[in-house]
Chain A
Amino acid sequence: MQALLTCQADIIGGVSKVHRRPSAKEQRSSSGMSDGVFVFDVSADAIARRAEQANIAVPEQAAEGVRTQLRALRAHAEAAGLPLGGERG
């Protein structure tokens, strides 16, 4: 529950609500394959970082729905057998 609330707070309003700058390593690992592992992190920070990288501001009313969709997609990535890394969120 805490993670969900944190995520909503982070992605509401998009880039302006990102609390901290990710390290270079974090940025690399949130954007795809890293050392043979497909990093599909749906933690709050990871979603906010990707929103920032994609220059997308997720509207407040979409935050919950986007979060739900990303969790479902991570489950599909797991079912598709991708070598996943990152937090489930």
Chain B
Amino acid sequence: MSSVWPSIQDLASSVRRGERSAVDVTALALARIDQHNAHIGAFTCVLSTQAMDQVRKIDGLVAAGQDPGPLAGVPFAVKDLFDVKGLTTTAGAKRRVDAPPAADNAALVQRLIDAGAVLVGKLNMDEFAYGFSTVNAHFGTTRNPHDLERLAGGSSGGSAAAVAAELVPFALGSDTNGSVRVPASLCGVIGLRPTHGSLPLDGVFPFVDELDTVGAFTRSSDDAQLIHEAMAGQALDAAVTGGLRAGVLQGFFCEGIDPSVLAAVDRVAAALRATPVELSESARARSAAFLLTSAQGGRRHLDSLREDPLSFDDGTRDRLLAGALLPEGTESAALAAAQPFADQLAALFETVDVLVTATTPVRAPRIDDETITINGQAVNARAHLGMMTQPVGLSGVPALSLPIRIPEGDLPIGVQIVADRGREALLFAVAKELESDGIVAAPSAAGFADLSPMRESA
């Protein structure tokens, strides 16, 4: 629940009925961005004029008795790897700021605009989506709205922070190794990695073909489903949770992780009556994802690495150079190494409908902390935030990160629900059940959660 915005359904319905003006809704989003963005560094570009032009047309359609669409007047923003017509897609890279502007909107951006949603800006990210931190040397660090000294996560950190701070009702990001789910977990919002290949990636700056997906950040599962359906272009079949068979992942997925995170997983597992299950190939699959990502990233950026390696952020440069220097055959070897995990997962989905695990092993680390503790060992924070999201990716299955209800002022915790390919409807049904049980709720970030006229009149 947002303290600022009504549900997306209510917001759009009220605009369509003429009870709220689309101009007022977007003016509130722009005012909130203006008021708060400097503190969190989520937006890299605000499209005030373009957005206000669009909402005046929406209000005009309503006045003329026409329907502006199911998302009428709902403000949103996108990670800066989605093409927006007339703007340069930087993919978070300084070296791309002078690249030619996009000729068209990305397919999914266009679908949302066609449904009446209002694009108000573009959002910060790790350079070329290669990271879990959104610490960007050129565009700055996106800060976690729940504690400005902590990471928002990445690589879609700007998108997660913008929704966590309630600057916009929803935002889009991309998830290759966990880049939607990790920042959703650290910022306390919902983030979906959909089934690989289920949504078009036209006009989305690529990273790893076998892993790339795009998904939305929202504050409720109803909103998440509505936006996913708008992007998919069709309503999902109804799913029921009666007789749900849930498993809670053991071993790799819970060894040595933060006790408070483990307690949150246990809480969800108990609510879903989940039985303990194990995927013994998980660590191997995660390593395979690392190798594939590095090798393909290096290959994709090879020309730029040859031409001007110093034009990259230092960390990205080193990772991409290393990837470019991997032996030939690394990508195919990594894909082969991930297959046993995919086979295990497929077999497990014969006996369970959903799997439960933490999204991240810890709550948001401090920005200046280089390490986190896993299994009693200090490990690189930024490399390990995705350790529980990475294995899932190569299997192509959907996963939803859900914020666990926490006491006011606590740092968010995310729990990941995973289902078999194409079963997003089941993920949303489980999320709704957990919300109605009071277990899942997006926490409000102090300092950003002021009551607005929009909410009071909802």
Interface: A16 (CB within 8 A): no
Mark B residues whose CB is within 8 Å of A.
Answer: 283-284, 286-288, 290-291, 294, 302, 305-306, 309-310, 314-315, 317-319, 321-330, 333-334, 337-338, 383
**Contacts across chains A and B counted by CB atoms under 8 Å:** 100
Interface: A54 (CB within 8 A): yes
CA distance A16 to B291 in the complex (A): 28
Q: Which of B319, B325, B337 sits near A80, CB closer than 8 Å?
A: B337
Interface: A59 (CB within 8 A): yes
Q: Which residues of B contact A39 (CB under 8 A)?
A: 327
Query: Given that A50-B327, A82-B337 are known contacts, is A77 also in contact with B291, CB under 8 Å in the complex?
Result: yes
Enumerate A46-62 residues with CB–CB distance to B below 8 Å.
47, 50-51, 54-59, 61-62
| Number of A residues with CB within 8 Å of any CB on chain B | 32
Closest to B288 in A: A80
CA distance A38 to B383 in the complex (A): 24
Enumerate A27-59 residues with CB–CB distance to B below 8 Å.
30-33, 38-41, 47, 50-51, 54-59
Interface: A76 (CB within 8 A): yes
Q: Is the CB of A81 within 8 A of B321?
A: no
Further 5 A-B residue pairs, CB within 8 A, beyond A69-B318, A69-B323, A77-B287: A32-B327, A68-B318, A69-B322, A70-B325, A80-B291
Q: Is the CB of A56 within 8 A of B310?
A: no
Q: Which residues of B contact A4 (CB under 8 A)?
A: none
Mark A residues whose CB is within 8 Å of B.
Answer: 30-33, 38-41, 47, 50-51, 54-59, 61-62, 65-66, 68-70, 72-73, 76-77, 79-82
Q: Is the CB of B321 within 8 A of A82?
A: no
Q: Is the CB of B306 within 8 A of A80?
A: no
Sample (11) of A-B pairs whose CB atoms are under 8 Å apart: A31-B327, A32-B327, A32-B329, A33-B328, A40-B326, A65-B317, A65-B321, A73-B322, A80-B333, A80-B334, A81-B284
Q: Is the CB of B327 within 8 A of A40?
A: yes
Q: Is the CB of B324 within 8 A of A54?
A: yes
Q: Which of A31, A55, A62, A80 sits near B284, CB closer than 8 Å?
A: A80
